[in-house]
Amino acid sequence: MTDDLQTLQSETDAALAAAADPRALDAVRVAVLGKSGRLTALLKELGRASPEERRERGAALNRLKDALTAAIEARRGELDAAALGARLAAERMDMTLPPRPRAQGLIHPISRTMEEMAAIFGAMGFAIAEGPDIEDDWRNFGALNIPAHHPARQDMDTFYLPGIDADGRSRVLRTHTSPVQVRTMLNQEPPIRVIVPGRTYRADHDATHSPMFHQVEGLVIDRAITLGHLKGCLIDFLRAFFGITTLPVRFRSSYFPFTEPSMEVDIGWNRKTGELGGGGDWLEILGSGMVHPKVLANCGIDPREWQGFAFGMGIERVTMLKHGIPDLRPFYESDIRWLRHYGFNPLAPAMLHEGV
């Protein structure tokens, strides 16, 4: 190799060693092998040499070109490996570190009960239906066979809203979730199997009553539904919900305008200790009955072909009983200390009990 080629090789090697990143490397490549690079210029000059000179120098230039090309690629490989190494080091994570503490909310007991009810009834094939908090008095009362001036309207301490709606009906804050029975039957062909969790309102306020509270309604309509289905469904639900497979359940004859026959449902407990199950005392927990034929007819369902049952249950009450919560009022006070005590971890799934 002639001196000038030797110089070119050693200078290029030095420049490659000094190139610390892909951009610098590319600059070296262009300066040597690019269109106006040093080696390219030498190759162009070949044309002016004599034939023997050209053969010898041409071969030497081509060897040098191959050597420099290989050196550039080798340096590129080194730089890539170094870049990857630096990136891996920078992104390194210590998987053994404990997670940072994070502020995490808790599920309100009312929401938790609703979720559990949805899970238990869901497993029995019920869907969830919903309706608005503001209802007209026909859906809240009339369609449910509670005529105007019926004492049930007073019993429920209804909140009336001012004015009337487009159909000439008074507007009320629904006093129970039963108007969603009406909505469901008007909107959907039987067979029907729904539960309706939601807010309800009555003008009543003391230690055990809140003007806003929650209920869950149930409605089953089919061709051959009997009182036996009602009893079996509610016994299964109550035992699953309270987690007591032997929970005593009693059906007591009662009256609701929208069911016939009607039954109130009691569960066994110990009045003195508050413990559910044994104890020999009874606690009323929900209202139920076979849907009144007039209600079916009011909702466009032929009572000679279809029948079914309905029930309604206060959510606060069963929540207090299940978790031993003594006072109703803090449910709505958003007191963080109460929520921390009675709230539920959102990541822990609701516990479902035997038989579900």
Contact footprint for ligand PHE (CB under 6 A): 176, 178, 217, 256, 259, 287-289, 310-312
Q: How far is the CB of 169 from ligand PHE (least distance, A)?
A: 19
End-to-end CA distance of the chain: 89
DSSP symbol at 193 = E
CB of 215 to ligand PHE, least distance (A): 6
Least separation in angstroms between CB 266 and ligand PHE:
14
Nearest to 137 by CA among 127, 151, 152, 148: 148
- Cβ-based nearer residue to ligand PHE, 257 or 278: 257
Residue 311 Cβ vs ligand PHE, minimum distance, rounded to whole Å: 5
Query: Rounded CA gap, 211 and 201, in Å?
Result: 5
Strand ranges (DSSP E) for 257-319?
A: 259-269, 281-291, 307-314
Nearest to 25 by CA among 80, 89, 65: 80
Please state the closest distance from residue 285 (CB atom) to ligand PHE, in A. Answer: 11
Q: Are strands 127-128 and 192-201 parallel, antiparallel or unpaired?
A: parallel
- Compare residues 197 and 312 and give the one whose CB is closer to ligand PHE: 312
Closer residue to ligand PHE, CB minimum distance, 257 or 277: 257
State which residue, 268 or 289, has the beta carbon closest to ligand PHE. Answer: 289
Pick between residue 12 and residue 145 the one whose CB is nearest to ligand PHE.
145
Task: Point out the residue whose Cβ comes nearest to ligand PHE.
Answer: 312
- Count Cβ atoms below 10 Å from residue 71 Cβ, excluding itself: 18
CB closer to ligand PHE, 242 vs 311: 311
Residue 255 backbone phi and psi in degrees, to 5: -140, 125
Closest-CA residue to 142 (of 121, 168, 116)? 168
DSSP assignment letter at 106: -
- Report in angstroms how near the CB of residue 97 gets to ligand PHE at its nearest: 53
153 burial class (0-12, 13-18, 19+ CB within 10 angstroms)?
Answer: middle
What is the smallest separation between the CB atom of 183 and ligand PHE, expressed in angstroms? 14
CA dihedral 220, 290, 216, 137 (to 10 degrees): 110
Toward ligand PHE, which CB reaches closer, 141 or 331?
141
